[in-house]
Amino acid sequence: MRTTLSVPATSELQRLANLPTQLPLQRAGPFLAHLARDPAFLDAYVLPLLQTPRRIEEWYVAHSCQGQDGSYSLQIFVWPPGSRTQIHDHTCWGAYLCVAGSVLEERYERLDDGSQLEYAHLKKVWQLSWSKEDGVSTLFPHDEGIHRVGNVGSKTAISVHLYGPKEGELDGRDYDTSRDYVCDRMEI
């Protein structure tokens, strides 16, 4: 569902999106932390998701706010217990904060040089559980942000994600470590 944020929030998102990659990641954390403490934001976008139980087993984007020029995307993800993404990367910078429950993030490093079509050999380098108190996770585009996010808990988790402008038409790549396989993804 597409949503509209307040004008100050939209203006701040536009300012962040127009900065070089390093700078928005430094500022995305405080912006997302502010949203996570804003009662109006929580009442409008987060609490209704927690108060309406659904029998859904897959993660999904409950709300999405896009910059008119494609310069940013703010998305609210719902993570039912046991749900998780594929291992993937993005063609943009990104940051997220868990606002309810917790999610587990696994980060991966690419061990090959990327020269073979549809081939990627990955190694898991770390995993962390993120809750509201743990702060913001950030990632760079492509190989510098290969990860998987999921909910290993028994209660629904909700996270707020901020993405910068995409580089090109692709949304990113999906990885399958059982086959050392990688493929392009048009959108998530």
* Assigned token pair, 66: 């896009």
Superfamily for 7-185?
A: Jelly Rolls (2.60.120.10)
Cα separation, 122 vs 185, in Å, equals 18
User: If DSSP codes are grouped into helix, strand and coil, which group holds residue 32?
Assistant: helix
Tell me the per-residue pLDDT of 137-178, one tens digit each, with 9 for 90 and over: 999 999 999 999 999 999 999 999 999 888 888 899 999 999
pLDDT digits (tens, 9 = 90+) for 16-59: 666 666 677 888 888 899 888 899 999 998 989 888 766 778 89
CA 1 to chain centre: 16
pTM of the full structure = 0.86
pLDDT tens-place string over residues 82-103: 999 999 999 999 999 999 999 9
Class of residue 44 by CB neighbours under 10 A (exposed 0-12, middle 13-18, buried 19+): middle
